[in-house]
Structure 1
Amino acid sequence: MLPDSEIRRVLVVTAHPDDADFGSAGSVALLVDRGVEVTYLVVTDGDAGGNERTLDNAGMAELRRAEQLAAGKAVGVTDVRFLGYPDGRVEPSLELRRDIARVIRQVRPDLVIAQHPERNYRFIAPSHPDHRAVGGATLDAVYPDARNPYAFPELLQEEGLEAWTVREVWLTGGSTPDHYVDITDAVDRKLAALQAHVSQVAHVEGFVEFVKGRFAAWAEEAGFGEGRYAEGFQVVSTA
C-alpha cells in the first residue's frame, strides 16, 4: 500500500450524492486533517432519490447537489464536481470513462476511492446498478484510460490534459474488504456529512444508531476493539 506520506491528492468517485459519505467520509476527514487535497466527483444528478415526491426531478437534483456540497464541507471537502448523468440509468460507457479520465487528469490524484463494481451479497444496498457501473467505469478510467496518452486523444489535443497514473485504488461497498481505517476520531463528522442529506435520511428512524452499529461492526471485524468505528476498503494496486 501507499505510505501515508505519499498520498497528497485523492479523488473520490461515486454514483450519487451521499455515496461518498456512506462509504468513506470518515477516512476522508482524516485525510483532510493531514493536509491531503480531496476532490469529490459525483456522476449522477441524484434526481431519482428522495423519500417523498414533493419536488420534480429537476428540483430534487438541485436539492441533492446542495446537500452534497454541505456534506463535503462537514469533512473539509470543498472541491465537489458533478457530471450530471441521469440517476438510475448509468452504464459503464466510453463516454463515462472519458469523463472520469478527464477529471483524473485534472486532479492528478495519488489515490482514487471508488465503488465496488461487483455485487455484494452480504448487504444489497452497495450493489445499486449505478454504483457498479460507476465503479467499473472508474477502474477502466484509472487503467488504462487516464494513463494512456493515446486514449481519448481529445483530452490532450483539445484540453491539454496530460496522461496521469493513479497509484492505488480503494473500493468501497465490497464484500471482501482487506484494509480498514479507524474513523473513531472522525465519526461525528461522518455523521454530520450523512445528516446533511436530509432528503435521503431524515425519515429513517434510528438512523444514527444504524450507522454507528454498521461501522462499529467493521471495527470489530478489523480487530480495533469495542467502542471503535471503522470503514473498510478493498485495495487495488495499479502497478
Structure 2
Amino acid sequence: MKNILLFIFLFSTYVTYSQLGIGFHTGLSTPNNQINNVYNSDKLDLKKPDYFGDLIRESTKIGYHIGMKLRLNMSENLFFVGGIIWNKFPQTTIDIVNSKTGDTLISLQATQNVIPISAGLNLYIMQSTISPYLTGDLAYTIISNSIDYKQIPLTGVEIDPNITDARAGFGLGAGLDIDLKLVYLNIEGKYNISNLIGKVSEEQNKNYFTLSLGVYFGNPVNKQ
C-alpha cells in the first residue's frame, strides 16, 4: 500500500512540473436520431420469404460519457490532445414491422456504446486564470450495439445480439481551463461526427454533442 501511495505521489509530482497534462472527463452526450440506427437502414432483409421488415425506431435519449485525455505543450498557445472517451447511450426500442401486413415481427431493445480514440489540437485564445480555447480532433470510433429481443412465435427470425462498426470522424468545439493552483478545472463542449469516413450504403451521419467537466493534473497552460 505504501508503495502504491509513493508511486501516485511521484507520478503526480512529475506531471505537475512537466509539460504533460493528464485529465479525466465526465459529462452528458446528446445524440442525433441516427445513433440507434443499428442496421444503418430503415429496412431489414429477414432472410425469409415475404419477410422484409420496416424499422420503427424510438427516439434516441441523452447518454453520458467518461474518459481520459493527455495534453502536451507544442508552442506558446498550441497543445496536442489525445485520448479515449466512452459514450453510453440508453436503451431504446426498435420494432421490426412486416412491410406488407404491418404486423410487428420482433421488438428489439438496443443500447449503444460509442468509443472515439482521438488526436487533435487545442488553440488557446488567451492564457490566464481562466483560459478559453478552441479544439478540434480526428477520431477512430468504435460503435458497438448490444441488442436484446423477444422473438415473435413462428417467425423463425434470428437477430445478431452484437453489432459493431468502426468508422473515422472528427470533433470541433471550445472549452475553458480554470486554474485552481493544484489542478485545472476543465469545461468543454464539442460537436462530434462519428462516421464521416467508412459509411456503408444508406448510412446517415451519427452525430452527438458532448458537454464535459474534467480535471487536469500537470501544467497544460503557460500563463502570461
Shared fold, TM over 0.5: no
What is the TM-score of this pair, normalised by structure 1? 0.22
Whose strand fraction is larger, Structure 1's or Structure 2's?
2
Larger Rg: 2
